[in-house]
C-alpha cells in the first residue's frame, strides 16, 4: 500500500463505530428510525423543541461514553502514529472513538457530541463539565448553549482544510459510510480528480461505490487492520 504514496485522506462514517455498539443512521434499527431527522438534526428542529434535541444528544453521549474503540479505530491509530507522510482522518462521526483508538490527525466535519457551543458568545465547552440539562454557558451565562453538531442545512466544519487535503491526496480511503450525505459523499470525486487512488471499505456497496477504483466488502474491524497492516 505504501509505494510512492505521500498523502492519505481517510473518510469515516457511522459504520466504523457500529462494532463498538453505536447505531448507524440508515440501518433498520438506525438512529433516524426513532427520530425524524427534521426534529433532531436541523436548526429548525432545535428551535422548535430544544429539550427534545438535548435529550437526543444526551442519549448519544451516554452511549459514546460506554462504547470502546474497536480494531478498526485502533488500526487507524497505529497508521496515524507510524505514517510519516501527510494523513488526515475526516470523520462524519461525532463520537471520540478515533481519538480513544490512538488517532491524532482527526477532523470532525459534523462536530462532536462531547462539545457544546454557545451561540451567544461563540465559546465551546465540554459537556462533561457538568453543564447539566437546560444548560447555561459557563462563559457568559446565556441559555444559548446547543450541541456542537453540524445539522442539515448547516455548513460542515473546516471545508477548506478538507478540500486542500483532497487536492493533494495520493490515496483516498472511505470507511463505513453510505455516501448519502453531502458534501462528504462527493469527496471521492474530488480526490479522484486530483489523481488519488480511491478505495472503499464497507459492509455493503454504498451509493457511491461506482465512483471508487476499488470496493472491499466486510466489517471495518476485519477490513481496516488488514488494509493498514
Beta-sheet pairing, 111-118 with 145-149: antiparallel
Which three cell numbers, joined as nine digits, stand for 158?
473546516
Q: Do residues 109 and 91 make contact, with C-beta atoms less than 8 angstroms apart?
A: yes
Task: Tell me which residues in 155-174 interact with ligand BV8 (CB under 6 A).
Answer: 155-156
Which three cell numbers, joined as nine digits, stand for 59?
442519549
Q: Which of 118, 149, 199, 211 binds ligand BV8 (CB under 6 A)?
A: 149
Q: Residue 155 CB, nearest distance to ligand BV8 (Å)?
A: 4
Nearer to ligand BV8 among residue 15 and residue 135 (C-beta): 15
Q: Please give the backbone phi and psi of residue 63, each rounded to the nearest 5 degrees, phi first.
A: -65, -40
Nearest partner of 67 among 46, 38, 40, 95, judged by Cα: 95
The answer to whether 177 contacts ligand BV8 (rule: CB under 6 A) is yes
Q: Which helix (H) or strand (E) holds 101?
A: none
Q: Which of 110, 146, 196, 198 binds ligand BV8 (CB under 6 A)?
A: 110
Q: From residue 30 to residue 69, what is the string marking binding to ligand BV8 with x (rule CB under 6 A)?
A: x----------x----------------------------
Nearest partner of 183 among 51, 90, 59, 74, judged by Cα: 90
Q: Do residues 201 and 174 make contact, with C-beta atoms less than 8 angstroms apart?
A: yes
The answer to whether 181 contacts ligand BV8 (rule: CB under 6 A) is yes
The answer to whether 215 contacts ligand BV8 (rule: CB under 6 A) is no
Three-state DSSP at 19 gives helix
Nearer to ligand BV8 among residue 13 and residue 101 (C-beta): 13
Q: Residue 85 CB, nearest distance to ligand BV8 (Å)?
A: 25
Nearer to ligand BV8 among residue 7 and residue 178 (C-beta): 178
| Count of residues touching ligand BV8 (by CB under 6 A) | 35
DSSP notation for 74-139: HHHHHHHHH--SEEEEEE---SSHHHHTT--SEEETTEEEEEEEETTT--EEEGGGT--SS---TT
Residues that bind ligand BV8 (CB under 6 A): 13-15, 18-19, 24-26, 30, 41, 92-94, 110, 149-156, 176-178, 180-183, 202-204, 206, 219-220
> Which residues are part of the catalytic machinery?
110
Amino acid at each position: 500500500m505504501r509505494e510512492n504514496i505521500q498523502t492519505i485522506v481517510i473518510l469515516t462514517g457511522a459504520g466504523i463505530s457500529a462494532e463498538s455498539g453505536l447505531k448507524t443512521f440508515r440501518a433498520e434499527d438506525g438512529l433516524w428510525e426513532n427520530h425524524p431527522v427534521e426534529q433532531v438534526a436541523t436548526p429548525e428542529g432545535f428551535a422548535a423543541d430544544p429539550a427534545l434535541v438535548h435529550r437526543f444528544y444526551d442519549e448519544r453521549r451516554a452511549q459514546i461514553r460506554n462504547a470502546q474503540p474497536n480494531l478498526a479505530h485502533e488500526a487507524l491509530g497505529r497508521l496515524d502514529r507510524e505514517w510519516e507522510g501527510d494523513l488526515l482522518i475526516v470523520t462524519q462521526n461525532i463520537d471520540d472513538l478515533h481519538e480513544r483508538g490512538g488517532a491524532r490527525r482527526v477532523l470532525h466535519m459534523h462536530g462532536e457530541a462531547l462539545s457544546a457551543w454557545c451561540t451567544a458568545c461563540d465559546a465551546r465547552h465540554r459537556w462533561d463539565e457538568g453543564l447539566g440539562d437546560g444548560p447555561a454557558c459557563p462563559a457568559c451565562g446565556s441559555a444559548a448553549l446547543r450541541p456542537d453538531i453540524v445539522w442539515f442545512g448547516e455548513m460542515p466544519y473546516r471545508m477548506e482544510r478538507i478540500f486542500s487535503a483532497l487536492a493533494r491526496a495520493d490515496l483516498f480511503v472511505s470507511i463505513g459510510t453510505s455516501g448519502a450525505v453531502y458534501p462528504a459523499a462527493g469527496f471521492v470525486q474530488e480526490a479522484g480528480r486530483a489523481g488519488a487512488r480511491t478505495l472503499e471499505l464497507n459492509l455493503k456497496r454504498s451509493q457511491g461505490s461506482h465512483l471508487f477504483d476499488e470496493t472491499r466488502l466486510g466489517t471495518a474491524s476485519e477490513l481496516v487492520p488488514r488494509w493498514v497492516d
